[in-house]
């Protein structure tokens, strides 16, 4: 029997039961392996806790060993520079006729102070000199009989390489781990001993750990650092069955340490040029691992049992409630399928089953009505939208304010009456050309050249009206064949005259600049008129953004803006900037390729 056939039989068996039975079976199938796995996980956790505690302690001892080894090599290198260099041995072993020579050396040389300030590992550097004719200070000290009789002093004198000892400072009476090394005269005779004391605070910062207590010792278990209460620097540690003289040894001592039941890791190593053996004791005095395991087992077992009982009760209640609701919803759907649309809502909850019931009631009540209403409403809405847009566009394109025509006729009449010269004929000709263009304007778009000529005719008429008070300039770097909506530039220029130049007491000027800018064609109309107050400028911006054309007084800024956006899209149109008393600038933004933009806009509307 293959796996596939087994799965098919199980599926047949599973599908042959009701939803309530299926959910209970799923819970049992899932919860039993979870319970068994929890027990196995508990056993694994207990085992791993013991192993991890030991492994972490061993790793920490390795990290401490690395730090101490680096410290040993650093200090021994410093001692090599001090003891085997030229300056200090020559200074110590030299002959002086005047004490001022010694004082001069102290003043000019700060080698020792520099090392102490640069290396935080160093507490101090002391050089003990057995000469009573010398001048001493805090770093260079006299080696009297109490010093020369010390074992560390004699061992350093007899040994050419550095030795590590735990030494009590004769002045401060504090105990330090120190590197001792002899200093020889140029002829090779020992003349002094240098003692480089290690800073206990540096050891505390880099070696102490929140979980473990650390005790550091050297040679025969002489302590030079301890974070364990009851053990101080200078004490001697005795641990049964431990040989302190064996380097590179590692041992787990699960017994008493200093009368404390603790898990203790001992690591010994030798480092540097000497044969000194360092010991690292990593102690966890609160390591009652068995008690922790028992506590964990009790808590985990009770917690697992609690979750099992609670989850079983929740599943039973949920299965009963869910099965009842699904059965009721099934019966209602079956009734609708048989043609009974008299369905009422009974579930008042907010879950998915209640939402399904609500949707079923809504669907039954409005199915046919909704389909017919939506279809008819959509057709009517599209038809009204197209008719409204077509009528609005035609109305906007046909609005021409004749006010400027009346002003121009009045100008021509006054010219003829007052001057009786030939300019009258020219003015009438220009006016006729202008009026003919207005009356014959029926196309959706014209060439840029035609629009410029039309605007130029208007400017010439206004120039005749205002005389020397007005000057203008039209510049274009855009192709003359560029197609543009009619009556785009002239209404903006008209606004510049009416609202900017006429109210200005100084000579007015209007500049029209047409140019390409990326994917746009910009038409800038600038005047030096009276400008626009900030409040009014804000109202204009709101009117442009809303495309409000209800006033119907003229084809002004709003009408032009709306025509542009209806033809090319909302990203194009008019932007107005102005500073009161200095003038106004109107920028018309059109597409560089009008046909493509108009096509895309039509597609969007459809």
CB-based contacts of 269, cutoff 8 Å, min separation 6: 65, 68, 69, 247, 248, 277, 278, 280
Query: What integer pLDDT is reported at residue 605 of this predicted model?
Result: 45
**Pairing, β 573-579 against β 583-591:** antiparallel
| 515-535 pLDDT, tens digit each | 999 999 999 999 998 889 889
Confidence bin at 482 (pLDDT 50/70/90): very high
Tell whether the model's pLDDT for residue 477 goes beyond 60. Answer: yes
- Please state the rounded mean pLDDT for residues 74-78: 90
Domain ranges across the chain: 85-201, 399-605
Is 553:515 a contact under the CB 8 Å cutoff?
no
Report d(CA 585, CA 577) in Å as an integer: 5
How does DSSP assign 16-85, residue by residue? Answer: TS-HHHHHHHHHHHHHHHHHHHHHHHHHHHHHHHHHHHHHHHHHHHHHHHHHHHHHHHHHHHHHHHHHHS
Helix (H), strand (E) at residue 193: strand 190-198
pLDDT in tens, 388-409: 565 455 545 444 445 455 456 5
Q: How far apart are CA 444 and CA 515, in angstroms?
A: 22
What does the pLDDT look like over 239-294, one tens digit per residue? 655 666 666 666 666 555 666 666 677 778 887 676 788 888 888 765 555 566 67
What's CA 271's distance to the chain center, in Å?
47
- State the pLDDT at residue 514: 95
- How far apart (Å, rounded) are the C-alpha atoms in residues 154 and 572? 98
Distance of CA 209 to the CA centre of its chain: 33
Over range 492-511, report the average pLDDT.
85
The arrangement of strands across the sheet holding 140-142 comes to 140-142, 122-129, 190-198, 175-184, 163-168
Compute the radius of gyration of the chain from its Cα atoms. 51
The confidence band for 420, taking pLDDT boundaries of 50, 70 and 90, is low
Element (H, E) at 366: helix 352-398
| For range 32-60, the mean pLDDT | 77
> Domain 399-605 class?
alpha beta
- Residue 104: which region, alpha, beta or left (left: phi > 0; alpha: psi -120 to 50)? alpha
| pLDDT number for residue 62 | 86
Could you read off the pLDDT of 211-220 as tens digits, one per residue?
778 889 888 8
Contact (Cβ atoms closer than 8 angstroms) between residue 343 and residue 361: yes
Average pLDDT across the chain, whole number: 78
Rounded to the nearest 5°, which phi and psi values hold at 226? -155, 130
The answer to whether the CB of 263 falls within 8 A of the CB of 283 is yes
% of residues, the chain, pLDDT over 70 = 74
Please tell me the distance from the alpha carbon of residue 215 to that of residue 221, in angstroms, as a whole number.
Answer: 10
Which is nearest to 84 in space by CA: 226, 192, 216, 158? 192
CB 605 within 8 A of CB 550: no
pLDDT in tens, 112-155: 888 888 999 999 999 999 988 888 888 899 999 989 999 999 99
CA distance 46 to 52: 10
CATH of range 85-201; options 3.40.50.80, 3.30.300.350, 3.30.450.20, 1.10.3720.10 = 3.30.450.20
Phi-psi region of 569 (alpha: psi -120 to 50; beta: other; left: phi over 0): left
Return the sign of the alpha-carbon dihedral for residues 263, 269, 271, 275: positive
Query: What DSSP state is assigned to residue 507?
Result: P
Percent of the chain with pLDDT over 90: 16
Give whichever of 2-16, 497-511, 539-553 has the largest mean pLDDT.
Answer: 497-511
φ and ψ of 186, to 5 deg: -55, -25
| 268/258 Cα distance (integer angstroms) | 19
């Amino acid at each position: 029997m293959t796996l596939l056939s087994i799965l098919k039989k199980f599926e047949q068996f599973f599908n042959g039961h009701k939803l309530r039975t299926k959910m209970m079976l799923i819970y049992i199938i899932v919860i039993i392996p979870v319970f068994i796995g929890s027990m196995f996980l508990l056993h694994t956790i207990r085992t791993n806790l013991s192993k991890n505690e030991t492994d972490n302690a061993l790793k920490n001892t390795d990290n401490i060993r690395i730090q101490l080894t680096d410290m040993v090599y650093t200090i021994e290198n410093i001692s090599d520079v001090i003891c085997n260099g030229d300056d200090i041995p020559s200074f110590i072993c030299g002959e002086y006729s005047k004490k001022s020579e010694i004082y001069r050396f102290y003043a000019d040389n700060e080698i020792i102070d520099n090392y102490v300030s640069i290396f935080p590992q160093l507490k101090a550097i002391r050089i003990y000199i057995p000469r009573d004719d010398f001048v001493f200070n805090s770093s260079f000290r006299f080696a009297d009989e109490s010093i020369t009789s010390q074992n560390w002093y004699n061992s350093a004198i007899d040994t050419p390489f550095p030795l590590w000892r735990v030494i009590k400072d004769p002045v401060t009476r504090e105990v330090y781990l120190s590197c001792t090394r002899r200093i020889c005269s140029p002829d090779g005779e020992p003349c002094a001993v240098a003692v480089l004391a290690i800073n206990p605070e540096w050891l505390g910062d880099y070696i102490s750990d929140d979980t473990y207590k650390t005790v550091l010792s050297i040679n025969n278990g002489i302590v030079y650092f301890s974070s364990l209460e009851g053990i101080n620097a200078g004490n001697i540690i005795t641990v049964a069955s431990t040989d302190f003289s064996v380097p590179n040894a590692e041992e787990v001592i699960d017994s008493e340490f200093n009368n404390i039941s603790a898990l203790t890791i001992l690591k010994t190593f030798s480092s540097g040029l000497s044969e000194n053996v360092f010991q690292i004791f990593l102690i966890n005095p609160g390591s009652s691992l068995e008690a922790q395991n028992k506590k964990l087992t009790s808590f985990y077992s009770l917690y697992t049992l609690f979750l099992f009982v609670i989850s079983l009760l929740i599943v039973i209640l949920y299965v009963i409630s869910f099965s009842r609701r699904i059965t009721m919803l099934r019966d209602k759907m079956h009734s609708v399928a048989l043609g009974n649309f008299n369905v009422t809502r009974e579930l008042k909850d907010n879950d998915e089953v209640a939402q399904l019931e609500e949707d079923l009631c809504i669907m039954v009540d409005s199915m046919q009505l909704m389909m017919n209403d939506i279809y008819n409403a959509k057709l009517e809405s599209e038809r009204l939208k197209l008719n409204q847009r077509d009528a609005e566009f035609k109305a906007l394109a046909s609005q021409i304010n004749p006010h400027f025509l009346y002003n121009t006729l009045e100008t021509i009449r006054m010219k003829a009456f007052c001057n009786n010269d030939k300019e009258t004929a020219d003015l009438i000709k220009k006016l006729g050309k202008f009026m003919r263009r207005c009356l014959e304007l029926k196309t959706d778009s014209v060439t840029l050249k035609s629009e410029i000529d039309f605007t130029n005719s208007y400017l010439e008429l206004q120039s005749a009206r205002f005389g020397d008070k007005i000057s203008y300039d039209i510049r274009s770097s855009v192709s003359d064949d560029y197609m543009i909506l009619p009556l785009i530039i002239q209404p903006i220029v008209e606004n510049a005259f009416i609202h900017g130049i006429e109210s200005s007491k100084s000579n007015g000027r209007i500049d029209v600049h047409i140019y390409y800018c990326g994917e746009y064609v910009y038409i800038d109309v600038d005047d030096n008129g009276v400008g626009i107050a900030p409040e009014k400028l804000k109202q204009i911006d709101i009117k442009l953004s809303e495309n409000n054309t209800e006033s119907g007084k003229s084809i002004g800024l709003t009408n032009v803006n709306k025509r542009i956006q209806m033809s090319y899209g909302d990203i194009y149109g008019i932007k107005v900037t102005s500073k009161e008393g200095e003038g106004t600038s109107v920028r018309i933004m059109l597409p560089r390729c009008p046909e493509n933009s108009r096509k895309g806009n039509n597609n969007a509307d459809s």
